Structure 1
Amino acid sequence: MITIRNAHEGEAGALSEIGLRAWQRAMAPIGEADAMAPAARNAFLNFAETRWLTITVIEWHGHTAGWAARENLDETISDFWIDPSFTGHGLGSALLRSIEKEVAEQGLDSVMMQTHAENNEAITFFKKNGYAIHWLSVAYNPKLDRDVPSVGLSKPVSSQGDGPYGAF
């Protein structure tokens, strides 16, 4: 059974560990994840402790399986993490639909997110869920001491024009 809920103040530790495991998997194509893991763990913990009101959690059969955040409560997904041990069960798609619904209910027209350009698993996932790449940028990452390309993806979610017979 899938449950989607708002995060609770006291679960920052568990959420940060899920974020770290998923981040390590996403960083594998770039490398250096092991060296950056302590800093990443601290960043995830700090984020989950201070921004928990912006986090949506997904549970599967009573186990916390992942989370997503809209840090500024706008159309941008700032974080999207499914624990690698829970992938392949449709949890990411269910969580994404929930976030998209929240964004549409706010009257916003689209959902946006970004990831590094070598994160093929995430890019494939978002494309499968109707997202398209709209930009590519390259920025220097001092922790990696090299340029890292990123992609921005978005999907329209506006429900304007929807009536009893759907969108026209």
Structure 2
Amino acid sequence: MPDPRDIKIRPAEAKDAAAIAKVQVETWQDAYVGILPDRILLEMRAVRSAAQWSNAIAKNQVPGFFQIAEWEGHIVGFCQGGKRRQDIKAAGDEVGEIAEIYVLYVDPSFQGLGVGTAMMGRVVESLAEAGFGALVLTVLSANRSGVAFYDKHGGSADLPVECTVMGAQTEETVYRWPDIRVLLDRLAGAEG
């Protein structure tokens, strides 16, 4: 098992796109079995999504908003955040402008080592430094490990709502942290 101290967290760069795509495909194919149809998971191709990630990295305006985890030269996870998308409504109790974590994926063989917590901590810290006061994100409701992760870090879950992922009907849950500073404290405590 890898030593978590050997895992480096750094901002994503253009050269990382193909490796990010590979982690995304492997993570989806592990986490979403039984949640999304097998045909969707089997049709995922890292080559196709590498171009999408290259574009996402290029559009990323603040390096701290897109972090990767690297172990022995291999990317084993990534996390990206930014301004809240308008399809996630405000709850009304947020402190200031609302940020969103768009994606958080960790290679299945590196889960449980604190990689997700470390990456999310870096992204949330950058969002707070940029003036965001609250945070939201969505997770597929049947993704037990994702739900457990966000529960562990003190997220408040909305009721699940129907959504469509790559043509498949499923449910997602919005998690909220009305005060981003509270989340930062929890993440820092979990890392230490």
TM-score, normalised to structure 2's length? 0.71
The aligned counterpart of 1:79 is 103
Structure 1 residue ranges, 4+ long, deviating more than 6 angstroms after superposition: none
Q: 1:65 aligns with which of 66, 70, 76?
A: 76
Deviation at 1:141, TM superposition (A): 5.1
Distance 1:50 1:88, change over 3 A: same
Deviation at 1:46, TM superposition (A): 2.9
- Residue 51 of structure 1 contacts residue 71 of structure 1 at CA under 8 Å; is this kept in 2? no
Percent identity at matched positions? 20
Q: 1:4 aligns with which of 3, 9, 21?
A: 9
Q: Residues 101-135 of structure 1: CA distance to partner in whole angstroms, max 9, x if unpaired?
A: 11111111122110111011101011111212134
Q: 2:175 aligns with which of 153, 156, 167?
A: 153
Q: Distance in 1 between matches of 2:166 and 2:107?
A: 27
Q: Residues 9-61 of structure 1: CA distance to partner in whole angstroms, max 9, x if unpaired?
A: 12211110001111122211314244444346466323211011433111235
Q: Are 1:46 and 2:68 counterparts? A: no
The aligned counterpart of 1:134 is 158
Q: How big is the alpha-carbon RMSD for the aligned residues of Structure 1 and Structure 2?
A: 2.4
Long gaps (5+) in structure 1:
160-168
The aligned counterpart of 1:101 is 125
The aligned counterpart of 1:117 is 141
The aligned counterpart of 1:166 is none
The aligned counterpart of 2:92 is none
Q: Distance in 1 between matches of 2:24 and 2:7?
A: 19
The aligned counterpart of 2:95 is none
Deviation at 1:71, TM superposition (A): 5.7
Which letter maps to 2:7? I
- Residue 58 of structure 1 contacts residue 91 of structure 1 at CA under 8 Å; is this kept in 2? yes
Which letter maps to 1:95? M
Which letter maps to 1:17? K
Deviation at 1:142, TM superposition (A): 6.6
Long gaps (5+) in structure 2:
1-5, 61-65, 85-97, 183-192
Q: Distance in 1 between matches of 2:145 and 2:170?
A: 17
Distance 1:85 1:34, change over 3 A: farther
Q: Distance in 2 between matches of 1:115 and 1:138?
A: 12
Q: Distance in 2 between matches of 1:104 and 1:72?
A: 11
SS in 2 for 1:75: strand
